[in-house]
């Protein structure tokens, strides 16, 4: 994973976390939780990034 790719994933993760803190409907909360989980996984294991 390049440095730029990592920074972009970290930026997306921070944005998703900020959105998850705002009041939203249950479906949006679930989707954000899935997105956060996926981004965290990609940051932990860069070989799995498509």
**Report field, pTM of the whole predicted structure over 0.75:** yes
pLDDT of 11 reads 97
pLDDT of 10 reads 96
| Domain assignment of residue 25, given as a range | 3-45
What does the alpha-carbon distance between residue 19 and residue 36 come to, in Å, rounded to a whole number?
10
Let me know if residue 35 belongs to a domain: yes
pLDDT of 21 reads 93
Let me know if residue 22 belongs to a domain: yes
What does the alpha-carbon distance between residue 38 and residue 33 come to, in Å, rounded to a whole number?
9
Asked whether the predicted pLDDT for residue 50 surpasses 60, the reply is no
pLDDT tens for 5-46 read 999 999 999 999 999 999 889 999 999 999 999 999 999 987
What does the alpha-carbon distance between residue 36 and residue 44 come to, in Å, rounded to a whole number?
12
pLDDT of 34 reads 97
Let me know if residue 50 belongs to a domain: no
């Amino acid at each position: 994973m390049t440095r730029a790719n990592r920074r972009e994933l970290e930026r997306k993760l921070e944005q998703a976390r900020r959105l998850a803190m705002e009041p939203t409907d249950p479906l949006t909360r679930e989707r954000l939780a899935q997105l956060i989980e996926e981004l965290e996984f990609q940051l932990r294991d860069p070989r799995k990034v498509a």
